[in-house]
Structure formats: structure tokens, C-alpha cells
């Protein structure tokens, strides 16, 4: 059995950075993820005038409930969806003029549901080029708050950004959600807001966020469940055992539910109070599974699906088409190049059993393509990648880390 100490959660780190910046006092984040996305988020806070002190095992953030210290700033969000969606909402609650831009990849991803919601709250916001996309400029005069409708069917990050900004609004915020995806990520947000002193009321599809602000916290960041999925899948595929400490029954992240999918396919899963273990049994069964709420793990399952004894059909994952790349088609394209029969629809992919050929995987600049097909490479020696270093977005050093686990397993 291998003990796999995966890095901290990207989702938790990004939310903690926002909440700490908005809180009254100095917060300490323990074992945050250090990656390109989180570095970009922290750098964005610094550009806005927040004090961020980054040590090797902990980051200290001095909060400013009144908003950014800088009266003007240009923030580059790199490839990070969290920074691109969360930071404009944080800045809008302050006072100043702030421009947000990002990489070409991130510019292609939508932000319209968020920016339309902010405009409906009276925020002076302009898309500088393509409507509904970065770059955008916010001229902030604080936000009164009120009631809005929001479509979060493309990304739960739009809802999270508004929920976290709600306590900074003079009258709080009431959000009626007309569509939503990745609900577990919203549950992370609500739990973390509670930890920072704000209790969000919920009645069906309506969220009520009270005004009043946040209290600084000493906050431990749990390991990244999406990153853990690669090692759990590798164990199931290779007949080995992987234990990830820090992801137990009280874990915040919904992506830990990926182990339930592996259990349905035949792997043995044990979850205790402080760890989860997956052990491969030498077989993988085909299945049909709805992955709407754990869609970041869709590529992990797609990459190992050819090794199942029957078709693997993944449904309700349209939102994966508007991630770092069109993940549904990227998975299908790579699998077809490996000689695997694949069908796709608007929001589904079906993968048939086969023996994948070793090819160069097209990563499309997407960290999850590289890491998912690295797992499948356990059974397909000779697999290579056109952009292996794209993993730096969320897991710098992944390939070396994965190689060490493989060596420990003797595979």
C-alpha cells in the first residue's frame, strides 16, 4: 500500500484566499496548494493592494473588509478560472478602477453570467473586447446588494463568487439560482463561509447572504480530491492500493465521490475519519454514470475506461466543454487516436473496451488531460505528451510524483 500525500486543494485554497482577503484581521492558510493557479490568485490580491505573506507551509493574508487598498490596478489572472471569476467580484465591493485580463485560453472561457449579475446589482462593468469574456474593467463604488437571478449551469464558480462577495454588500444578497452544475463545489463555499463567520440561508434554489463581513481564521487546507483521483484510478487500474491521508468522511470536496464510481467498477474502497484507500481487484466493470457534480474527474474515468470489461458511458457533463479546453472532445480525440471506439453527444461520451496504442497525447494546454492519460499510461507503455508541463497549473511536479508512486508499486 502506498501513502500518497497529494498537494492542497486548489478549490479550497482559492476560496480561502478570497475569504481571508475580505476578513477583518490576519488569516493563516496552512498547507495551501502552491501552483500556477494559486500563485496567480495570490499575486492578483497583491496587485489589488492586499498584504500576502507566503511561507513554505503557510500563507498569511491581512484582510481588508473595505476592499482593495489600490485605487487602480491591472490584474492578470493567467489561466485561472477561480481568479478570473472571484477577483472581479471581490474588487467590485471596494472602491476604485480595476482591469482584469488573463491568458488566451482563459479569455475563451465565459464569465457572462457573473458579470451580468454584477451589473444587475449596479456595478459599473465593461467587457473591453468580446462581450461576456475577459478582459473586463470594473469601476467600483461598493455594492448595495439586493436580489438577483443567476444561471450557474456552465460553472458553479459564478455562484461562489457572488456568495462570497455577498457579506461585503451593504444590504447583503439574495440569489435565486435558475440552473446549477457542480453542486458539491457550492457546498465547499458554504462550509468555508461558515468557518469564516457567515451563515448563508438556503431555501430550495434561493440563497440568502447576510451583510456584516468575515472574521479572520487559522485555516488548514485539505488535500486536493481532484488530484487524488489520479492515484485512486491508478490503484484500481493496476491492482495496487493507494491511501490519501486528509481526505476522510468529513472532507469538503465532492470530487472524493469519484471513489464511489471506482467501487461500482469493482475496486475496493475504504473511507475512515481521516483517509481514503482504494485497492484494485484486477477487474474494472463497464457502467453508465452521471458525473455532473464531479465533472473535473470525468477525464480520469475516460482515460481508464478502455480497460473496463464493457462500455463506460459518462453522462450530463456538458460543462466540461467550457473548461481549459473542450474536455469531452479532447478525451474522445485522444482515445480515438489510441484506436479506441468512442461516441459522443452534446453532454455525454461512451467509451468501448479496447487496447489503447501508445501515442502522443494532445493535452490542449489542459492539466487534466496530461494527468488523466498518465494514469492510463500504466497499461500503455510508450505514452507521451505534447505539453507535459501544463500540469503546473494545479500540480507542479506531478510526473515525478507519479513516477515515485509507480516505483513504490513496482509497476
> Catalytic residues, which ones?
296
- What is the distance between the terminal CA atoms of the chain, rounded to a whole angstrom? 13
- What does each C-alpha distance from 288 to 260, 261, 316, 380, 407 come to in angstroms? 13, 10, 11, 24, 33
In angstroms, the CA 83 to CA 18 distance is 9
Query: How far, in Å, CA of 102 to CA of 307, rounded?
Result: 38
**CA-wise closest residue to 136 among 152, 119, 149, 150:** 119
Q: Where are the alpha helices (DSSP H) in 77-136?
A: 81-92, 104-107, 112-120
Main-chain dihedrals φ then ψ at residue 198, nearest 5 degrees: -125, 125
3-class DSSP assignment, residue 338:
coil
A 10 A CB-CB count for 270 gives: 13
Distances (CA, A) of 389 to 7, 158, 254, 340, 367: 17, 28, 26, 26, 8
| Beta strands in 268-398, from DSSP E residues, in sequence order | 268-271, 275-279, 287-290, 312-315, 342-344, 349-351, 360-361, 384-385
Pairing of strands 23-24, 51-54: unpaired
Amino acid at each position: 500500500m502506498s501513502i500518497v500525500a497529494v498537494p492542497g486543494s486548489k478549490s479550497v485554497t482559492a476560496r480561502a484566499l478570497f475569504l481571508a482577503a475580505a476578513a477583518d484581521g490576519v488569516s493563516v492558510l496552512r498547507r495551501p496548494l502552491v501552483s500556477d493557479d494559486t500563485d496567480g490568485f495570490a499575486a492578483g490580491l497583491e496587485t489589488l493592494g492586499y498584504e500576502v505573506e507566503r511561507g513554505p507551509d503557510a500563507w498569511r493574508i491581512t484582510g481588508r473588509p473595505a476592499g482593495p487598498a489600490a485605487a487602480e490596478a491591472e490584474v492578470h489572472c493567467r489561466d485561472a478560472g477561480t481568479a478570473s471569476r472571484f477577483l472581479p467580484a471581490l474588487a467590485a465591493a471596494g472602491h476604485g478602477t480595476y482591469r482584469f485580463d488573463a491568458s488566451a485560453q482563459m479569455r475563451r472561457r465565459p464569465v457572462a453570467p457573473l458579470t451580468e449579475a454584477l451589473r444587475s446589482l449596479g456595478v459599473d462593468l465593461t467587457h473591453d473586447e468580446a462581450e461576456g469574456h475577459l478582459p473586463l474593467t470594473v469601476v467600483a463604488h461598493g455594492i448595495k446588494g439586493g436580489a438577483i437571478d443567476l444561471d450557474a449551469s456552465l460553472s458553479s464558480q459564478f455562484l461562489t463568487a457572488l456568495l462570497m462577495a455577498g457579506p461585503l454588500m451593504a444590504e447583503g444578497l439574495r440569489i435565486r439560482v435558475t440552473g446549477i452544475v457542480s453542486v458539491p463545489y457550492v457546498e465547499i463555499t458554504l462550509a468555508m463561509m461558515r468557518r469564516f463567520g457567515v451563515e448563508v440561508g438556503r431555501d430550495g434554489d434561493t440563497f440568502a447572504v447576510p451583510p456584516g463581513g468575515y472574521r479572520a481564521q487559522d485555516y488548514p487546507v485539505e488535500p486536493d480530491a481532484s488530484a487524488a483521483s489520479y492515484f485512486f484510478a491508478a490503484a484500481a487500474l493496476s491492482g495496487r492500493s493507494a491511501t490519501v491521508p486528509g481526505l476522510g468522511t468529513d472532507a469538503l470536496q465532492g470530487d472524493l465521490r469519484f471513489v464511489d464510481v471506482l467501487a461500482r467498477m469493482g475496486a475496493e474502497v475504504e473511507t475512515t475519519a481521516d483517509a481514503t484507500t482504494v485497492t484494485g481487484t484486477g477487474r474494472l466493470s463497464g457502467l453508465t454514470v452521471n458525473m455532473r457534480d464531479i465533472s473535473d474527474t470525468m477525464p480520469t474515468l475516460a482515460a481508464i475506461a478502455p480497460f473496463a470489461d464493457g462500455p463506460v458511458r459518462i453522462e450530463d457533463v456538458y460543462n466540461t466543454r467550457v473548461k481549459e479546453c473542450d474536455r469531452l472532445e479532447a478525451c474522445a480525440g485522444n482515445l480515438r487516436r489510441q484506436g479506441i471506439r468512442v461516441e459522443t453527444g452534446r453532454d455525454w461520451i461512451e467509451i468501448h473496451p479496447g487496447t489503447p496504442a501508445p501515442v502522443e497525447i494532445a493535452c490542449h494546454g489542459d492539466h487534466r488531460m496530461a494527468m488523466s492519460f498518465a494514469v492510463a499510461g500504466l497499461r500503455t507503455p510508450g505514452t507521451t505528451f505534447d505539453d507535459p508541463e501544463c500540469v503546473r497549473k494545479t500540480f507542479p511536479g506531478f510526473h515525478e510524483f507519479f513516477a515515485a508512486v509507480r516505483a513504490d508499486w513496482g509497476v
